[in-house]
């Protein structure tokens, strides 16, 4: 019986390793294709370049819960995505094309506005892309259990602003709104990694507490987005985050601003409507019923 169990474990580990190798091969093939298509545009502003990269992924299938596997480790998928992973990928890819490696400038506790990117020169490669994704996705770029992954998009914005990768424009464009963070630790039953793990729950709770102390937060209402003076300040490649309606959650969807063929401001995203990456037929103002927050890559 023990031998049978050990065999099953070894088989499972082997299958996981084979799947990881297959995914790595797929990722590298897609990376090479996209990099070849955009490498001559490395001199564009980062947001503009990120949008050019985003367009290379149009038609990529939407996938749920790709990161919700155990144990926690960096997982990169270029053949499937969800909304935040899509924007994270395009932002990281733009830095990679420019030959820039993210260097953490914060302490994971305090947040600030850094006016210059905390990066160092590096040769563009798939490995550099993975490094940049890890340093956008994980607190201080360190993978150490489920809680080390940044789960609230507000923290993702704050860490990347502290690293000078982006800056949020919502205060300039909008108005304060009442935002609090508690959903994950008051709904632990729906997060399998938190259900019976007090250590990881405590890490997430500490992140919520820090985010609550970071107030005030700002947003741009749908009414304001319909004003030319406001919408004209949003540029192609800006990161758009949509305000959530659940108490204790901050942002429900992430996209990138993109001017449509009609000359109006639309957005490109990985959405559940078409279940793939696409430029949405709705204008940004029509879609943003609860308002948005706006950030720009430096």
pLDDT at 230 over 70: yes
User: Does an H or E element contain 146, and which?
Assistant: none
Please give the structure tokens belonging to residue 99. Answer: 């030959």
Give 250-267 pLDDT, tens digit per residue: 999 999 999 999 999 999
Give 272-293 pLDDT, tens digit per residue: 999 999 999 999 999 999 999 9
Q: Report the alpha-carbon distance of residue 77 to residue 26 in Å, rounded.
A: 9
Predicted confidence band of residue 12 (pLDDT cuts 50, 70, 90): very low
pLDDT at 175 over 50: yes
pLDDT at 245 over 50: yes
Using alpha carbons, select from 210, 211, 291 the residue that is nearest to residue 245.
291
Neighbours of 145 (CB within 10 A): 15
Mean residue pLDDT of the chain comes to: 95
Within the chain, how many helices (H) and strands (E) appear? 12, 12
Q: Report the alpha-carbon distance of residue 235 to residue 38 in Å, rounded.
A: 20
Percent of the chain, pLDDT > 90?
93
pLDDT of the residue at 19: 79
Beta bridge partners of 241: 254, 293
Q: Report the alpha-carbon distance of residue 256 to residue 235 in Å, rounded.
A: 9
Asked whether the whole model's pTM tops 0.85, one would answer yes
């Amino acid at each position: 019986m023990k031998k049978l169990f050990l065999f099953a474990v070894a088989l499972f580990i082997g299958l996981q390793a084979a799947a990881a190798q297959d995914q790595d091969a797929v990722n590298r093939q897609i990376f090479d294709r996209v990099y070849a298509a955009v490498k001559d545009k490395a001199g564009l502003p980062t947001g503009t370049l990120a949008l050019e990269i985003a367009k290379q992924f149009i038609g990529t299938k939407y996938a749920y819960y790709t990161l919700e596997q155990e144990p926690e480790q960096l997982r990169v998928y270029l053949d499937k995505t969800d909304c935040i992973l899509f924007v994270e990928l395009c932002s990281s890819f733009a830095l990679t094309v420019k030959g820039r490696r993210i260097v953490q400038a914060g302490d994971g506790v305090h947040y600030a506005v850094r006016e210059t990117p905390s990066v160092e020169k590096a040769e563009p490669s798939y490995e550099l892309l993975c490094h940049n994704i890890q340093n956008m996705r994980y607190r201080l770029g360190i993978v150490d259990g489920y809680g080390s992954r940044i789960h609230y998009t507000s923290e993702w914005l704050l860490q990347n602003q502290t690293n000078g990768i982006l800056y949020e424009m919502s205060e300039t464009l909008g108005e304060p709104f009442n935002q609090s963070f508690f959903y994950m630790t008051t709904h632990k039953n729906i997060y399998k990694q938190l259900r019976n793990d007090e250590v990881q729950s405590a890490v997430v709770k500490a992140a919520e507490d820090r985010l609550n102390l970071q107030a005030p937060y700002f947003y741009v209402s749908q009414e304001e987005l319909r004003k030319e003076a406001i919408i004209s300040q949003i540029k192609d490649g800006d990161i758009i985050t949509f305000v959530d309606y659940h108490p204790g959650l901050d942002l429900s969807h992430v996209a990138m601003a993109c001017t449509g063929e009609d000359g109006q401001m639309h957005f490109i995203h990985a959405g559940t409507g078409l279940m793939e990456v696409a430029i949405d037929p709705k204008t940004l103002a029509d879609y943003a019923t609860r308002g948005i927050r706006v950030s720009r890559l430096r």
